[in-house]
Structure 1
Amino acid sequence: MPSKNAITNTYDEMARDRTSAVHSLLSSCSPLRDEEAGSWFVADHETAKKALALPGLLPRDSENATADLTDAQRRRVRPLELHLGRWLAFSDRKPQRDLRQGVRRALRPGADPARLDRLHGAAHRLVPRPLEGSELVADFITPFTVEAVTDLLGAEPDSGPDLLAWGADLVAYLGLDRYREEVVERALDSLARLELHVAEWTRTARGAVPDAIRSALRHGATGQDATAAFAQLLTGGVEPTRSALVTGAVSLTSVGHPEAFRRAPEGYVSEVLRVASPFHFAPRTAGSDLQLRGTRIPAGARVSVVLCAANHDPARFASPESIDPGRPLRDHLAFGHGRHFCAGAGFAEEMLSAGLEALMEAGLGTENIRVTPRYERTAGMTRAATLTVGHGLC
Structure 2
Amino acid sequence: MNLLAPDVRANPYPLYAELRRHTPVCRVDPGGLWAVSRYDDVVTVLKHPQPFSSEGIRRTYRPEWIPDYPMADSMLVMDPPCHTRLRALVNRAFGTSVLHRLEERVRELAHQVVTALPAGRPVDFVDGFSSRVPICVLGELVGIPPSLHAQLKQWAEVMTRFTSVGPDDLELQEQIRAALAEARRHFEQVLEERRHEPRDDLISDLLQARVDGEALTDTELMGFMFLLLIGGLETTVHLLSSCVLKFQEDPALMTRLREEPALIPRFLDEMLRHSGPVHGIVRMVTDDVELGGVQVPRGERLLLLLASANRDEAQFPDPDRFDMERPGPQNLPFGHGAHFCLGAQLARMEARLALEALLARFARLTLGNEPARWNISLVIRGPTWLPLAGHLD
Is the pair's TM-score, using the shorter chain for normalization, greater than 0.5?
Answer: yes
CA pair 352-322 structure 1, distance change in 2 beyond 3 A? farther
State the aligned residue count: 375
1:7-33 deviations in whole A, cap 9, x for unaligned? x34454744652332232222232224
Give the AA of the match of 1:376: W
- Tell me if 1:236 matches 2:236: no
Give the AA of the match of 2:193: T
**Using the alignment, how far apart are the partners of 1:109 and 1:289 within structure 2?**
40
Give the AA of the match of 2:340: F
User: Counterparts in 2 of 1:1-394, with a 5 A limit?
Assistant: 8-12=1-5, 14-15=8-9, 17-34=11-28, 37-56=31-50, 57-59=52-54, 61-62=56-57, 65=60, 74-80=63-69, 83-92=70-79, 96-127=83-114, 128=116, 130-133=118-121, 134-176=123-165, 179-205=168-194, 206-207=199-200, 209-215=202-208, 219=214, 221-253=216-248, 254-258=250-254, 259-260=256-257, 262-327=261-326, 331-365=330-364, 369-371=365-367, 374-380=372-378, 381-390=380-389
**Using the alignment, how far apart are the partners of 1:35 and 1:250 within structure 2?**
28
Q: Secondary structure at the match of 2:173?
A: helix
CA pair 16-120 structure 1, distance change in 2 beyond 3 A? closer
**Using the alignment, how far apart are the partners of 1:330 and 1:216 within structure 2?**
35
CA pair 318-238 structure 1, distance change in 2 beyond 3 A? same
**Using the alignment, how far apart are the partners of 1:201 and 1:63 within structure 2?**
26
Residue 289 of structure 1: how far off its partner (Å): 2.7
**Using the alignment, how far apart are the partners of 1:213 and 1:39 within structure 2?**
35
Give the AA of the match of 1:51: V
Q: Secondary structure at the match of 1:304?
A: strand
Structure 2 portions without partners, runs of 5+: none
Residue 62 of structure 1: how far off its partner (Å): 4.8
Residue 42 of structure 1: how far off its partner (Å): 0.8
* 1:5 aligned partner: none
1:237-257 deviations in whole A, cap 9, x for unaligned? 221211111111122342442
Moved more, 338-347 or 215-224: 215-224
CA pair 91-257 structure 1, distance change in 2 beyond 3 A? same
Q: Secondary structure at the match of 1:84?
A: helix
Aligned residues of 2:140 and 2:201 also touching (Cα < 8 A):
no
Residue 284 of structure 1: how far off its partner (Å): 0.7
CA pair 214-316 structure 1, distance change in 2 beyond 3 A? same
Give the AA of the match of 2:20: L
Residue 181 of structure 1: how far off its partner (Å): 1.2
Q: Secondary structure at the match of 2:68?
A: helix
CA pair 63-208 structure 1, distance change in 2 beyond 3 A? closer
**Using the alignment, how far apart are the partners of 2:72 and 2:30 within structure 1?**
25
TM superposition score normalised by structure 2:
0.85
Q: Secondary structure at the match of 1:75?
A: coil
Residue 235 of structure 1: how far off its partner (Å): 1.4
RMSD value over aligned CA atoms? 2.9
**Using the alignment, how far apart are the partners of 1:74 and 1:286 within structure 2?**
19
Give identity over the alignment, percent: 21
CA pair 252-350 structure 1, distance change in 2 beyond 3 A? same
Residue 387 of structure 1: how far off its partner (Å): 2.4
Moved more, 44-53 or 293-302: 293-302
**Using the alignment, how far apart are the partners of 1:279 and 1:353 within structure 2?**
18
* 1:4 aligned partner: none
1:163-220 deviations in whole A, cap 9, x for unaligned? 2212222211134365521121121122222222112212334345213431469836
CA pair 119-328 structure 1, distance change in 2 beyond 3 A? farther
Aligned residues of 2:56 and 2:286 also touching (Cα < 8 A):
no
Residue 281 of structure 1: how far off its partner (Å): 1.0
TM superposition score normalised by structure 1:
0.84
**Using the alignment, how far apart are the partners of 1:354 and 1:59 within structure 2?**
33
CA pair 211-289 structure 1, distance change in 2 beyond 3 A? farther
Give the AA of the match of 1:234: L
Aligned residues of 2:92 and 2:209 also touching (Cα < 8 A):
no
CA pair 329-252 structure 1, distance change in 2 beyond 3 A? farther
